[in-house]
Amino acid sequence: MVTAVATGKVALRKVFPFIMGANLGTTITAVIAALYKTEAAISVAIVHVLFNLIGNLIFLPFPRLREIPVRLAKKFGRQTANNKSIGFAYILLTFFVIPFFLIYFNQAEVKPEPFQVTLEKREEVAFINDFCPTKPPL
């Protein structure tokens, strides 16, 4: 979809709902992947789904609101085409500076010890093994 818009084959206004739906779909796969991880991974995945779902519910039903991100994307694209340093600054801020500050200022002071995590996992495995027969029934 993005390449079709970039080449000018399809109007951005027509593809915008599909792009929003694709974003929501990828968050669902993140939830499925997080189901086998820690509770923190599951909560992050669910927040990601809710963030995209609320964004879809705000922007998609109302055509005037739907125009806001489309106009901003076009304007930013034109500015980046005219001045490459704007695009470079955007990438630098979005993928390096902002994540660095978010990670730096949100580090937990109390971290769980790895032994506690492995001990909990061992207890879970032992609990599951209690219900498994040692010999198959004949």
**Residues 83-98: tens digit of each pLDDT:** 999 999 999 999 999 9
Choosing from 45, 60, 82, the residue where a domain stops is 82
Inter-residue contact 12 to 74 (CB < 8 Å): yes
Count of the separate structural domains present in the chain: 2
Residue 20: which residues within 8 A CB-CB, separation 6 or more? 52, 55, 56, 59, 60
| Boundaries of domain holding 97 | 84-131
Instruction: Tell whether 90 and 121 lie within a shared domain.
Output: yes
CA torsion, ordered 31, 35, 40, 43, to nearest 10 deg: 40
Q: How confident is the model at residue 40 (pLDDT cuts 50, 70, 90)?
A: confident
Residues 77 and 89 in one domain: no
65 and 1 within one domain? yes
Q: Are residues 3 and 71 in the same domain?
A: yes
At 64, give phi and psi (nearest 5°).
-70, -40
Residues 63 and 93 in one domain: no
- Residues 35 and 97 occupy one common structural domain: no
Residue 79 has what pLDDT?
A: 93
What confidence category does residue 26 fall into, taking pLDDT thresholds of 50, 70 and 90?
A: confident
Compute the distance between CA of residue 91 and CA of residue 117 in angstroms, rounded to an integer: 37
C-alpha–C-alpha distance, residues 127 and 76, integer Å? 56
